[in-house]
């Protein structure tokens, strides 16, 4: 077992898009495990949009990471020493020990993975938090019916790429919005979206959506907010459902954007607009993971991972994800 662990601390509260210098790599002593604890070597780190919200210095739905503290995050690793009978050296586990390359942690905080079911990296993507966000955030909140039109923003990312496929499984017509031509090709040709457009090269989102959604929009899974969502809202059908999952277009802004006032749309069309945090569904995750794994086995759900090599590149991978350089789930291989 190594004597120390490398870890990234928050060095400064980012202004706008984070910079690599907002994070500091340090080496800290790795405590020997107490009874009930294990030592884990990090294999994969997840970089996720919610981390941007955690480093604003302000409490959102969770406490912020303060300057000088360890960066939070989901992680997969391999047990290298154990003082708990439930885990043996060599076992793979998933947990949330943040941006560090080794940890001594209570075994009870870790979930053992079965590498026979799926590659262990999927515990941070399709069979983990993003997968459950797509599964429950779409099915529970949007209640899709066969034949309905579903629009997904952030459609080629970790969550969005799964929402579109779940909507296809439910026999919906699915339109995706994403920020690169290769992402559009991927979601239409590989994932089965009915149509999609690149918001970075489209000038009139409303007109494009009107073309692609001649019967209006029944369900909107919103990953991005901002002007994209403003355009979707005007085309929602009466009694449409909106799942507000993320607002990534707003996360790096230094002052709030002024948008149109949409409450009258909610009123006159009798819309259901609901936000959620995926941990709301924690007690049903096992059921959701089992269903996603089954769909994967049947070839009905595909996933893509963009894997950045090297623990030291974690801040870069995080920034690249915020800038849209990922297709599917962005991970770091430590
Ligand atoms: P992701 O989509 O894999 O990665 C982020 C993507 O956001 C980028 O690839 C980029 O794709 C897009 N993006 C960046 N800036 C944008 C902008 N200004 N306008 C539009 N799109 C922009 O990330 P994810 O993990 O799947 O998360 C997607 C969303 O779900 C995020 O908003 C996140 O906060 C939210 N989320 C919510 C929960 C919850 O519990 N509610 C849980 C997980 C995630 P493009 O190339 O398409 O721009």
Nearest Cα neighbor of 174 from 158, 157, 190, 155 is 155
Q: Residue 43 has which token pair?
A: 């294999």
**What digits encode the pLDDT tens for the residues 58-67?**
998 899 999 9
The superfamily (CATH) of domain 4-124+303-333 is Medium-chain alcohol dehydrogenases, catalytic domain (3.90.180.10)
Using CA positions, which residue lies closest to atom 34 of ligand 1?
Answer: 246
**What digits encode the pLDDT tens for the residues 95-143?**
999 999 999 999 999 999 999 999 999 999 999 999 999 999 999 999 9
Query: Which residues, including other chains, have CB under 8 Å from residue 3's CB and lie 6 or more apart?
Result: 29, 30
**What digits encode the pLDDT tens for the residues 148-190?**
999 999 999 999 999 999 999 999 999 999 999 999 999 999 9
| pTM, two decimal places | 0.98
- Ligand 1 centroid to residue 32 C-alpha, Å: 38
Q: Residue 156 has which token pair?
A: 């080629």
Please return the burial class of 227, using the count of CB atoms within 10 Å of its CB with bins 0-12, 13-18 and 19+.
middle
* Predicted pLDDT of residue 256: 87
Distance between CA 291 and CA 92 in Å, rounded?
Answer: 21
Domain positions in the chain are 4-124+303-333, 129-279
Q: Is the CB of 331 under 6 A from ligand 1?
A: no
285 backbone φψ class: left, alpha, beta (φ>0; ψ -120 to 50): alpha
Using CA positions, which residue lies closest to atom 8 of ligand 1?
Answer: 324
Q: How far is CA 19 from CA 12, 13, 160, in A?
A: 9, 10, 25
- Ligand 1 centroid to residue 247 C-alpha, Å: 7
**What digits encode the pLDDT tens for the residues 24-44?**
999 999 999 999 999 999 999
- 129-279 carries CATH number 3.40.50.720: yes
Q: Is the CB of 278 under 6 A from ligand 1?
A: yes
User: Judging by DSSP bridges, how do beta strands 75-82 and 92-95 pair with one another?
Assistant: antiparallel
**What digits encode the pLDDT tens for the residues 292-319?**
999 999 999 999 999 999 999 999 999 9
Q: Is the pLDDT of residue 16 over 90?
A: yes
Q: What is the mean pLDDT of residues 3-9?
A: 97
DSSP letter for each residue of 266-289: HHHTT-EEEE--GGGGGGGHHHHH
Percent of the chain with pLDDT over 70: 100
């Amino acid at each position: 077992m190594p004597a120390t662990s490398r870890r990234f601390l928050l060095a400064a509260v980012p202004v706008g898009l984070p910079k690599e210098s907002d994070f500091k790599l340090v080496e800290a002593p790795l405590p020997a495990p107490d009874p009930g604890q294990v030592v884990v070597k990090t294999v994969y780190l997840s970089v996720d949009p919610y981390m941007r919200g955690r480093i604003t210095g302000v409490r959102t739905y969770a406490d912020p990471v303060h300057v000088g503290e360890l960066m939070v995050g989901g992680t997969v690793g391999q047990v290298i020493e154990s003082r708990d009978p439930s885990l043996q050296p060599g076992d793979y586990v998933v947990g949330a020990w943040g941006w560090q390359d080794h940890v001594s942690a209570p075994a009870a905080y870790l979930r053992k993975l079965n590498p026979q079911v799926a590659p262990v990296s999927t515990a941070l993507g399709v069979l983990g938090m993003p997968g459950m966000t797509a599964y429950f955030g779409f099915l529970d909140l949007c209640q899709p019916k066969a034949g309905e039109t579903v629009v997904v923003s952030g459609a080629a990312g970790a969550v969005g790429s799964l929402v579109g496929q779940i909507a296809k499984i439910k026999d919906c017509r699915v339109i995706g919005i994403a920020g690169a031509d290769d992402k559009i090709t991927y979601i239409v040709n590989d994932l089965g979206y009915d149509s999609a457009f690149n918001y970075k090269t489209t000038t009139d989102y409303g007109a494009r959506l009107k073309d692609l959604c001649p019967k209006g929009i029944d369900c909107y899974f919103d990953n991005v907010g901002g002007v994209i969502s403003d355009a979707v809202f005007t085309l929602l059908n009466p009694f449409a459902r909106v799942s507000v999952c993320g607002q990534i277009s707003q996360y790096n802004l230094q002052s709030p954007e002024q948008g149109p006032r949409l409450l009258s749309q909610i009123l006159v069309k009798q819309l259901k607009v609901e936000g959620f945090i995926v941990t709301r569904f924690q007690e049903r995750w096992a059921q959701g993971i089992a269903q996603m794994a089954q769909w994967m086995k049947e070839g009905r759900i595909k996933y893509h991972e963009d894997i950045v090599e090297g623990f030291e590149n974690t801040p870069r991978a995080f920034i690249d994800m915020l800038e849209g350089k990922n297709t599917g789930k962005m991970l770091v291989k430590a």
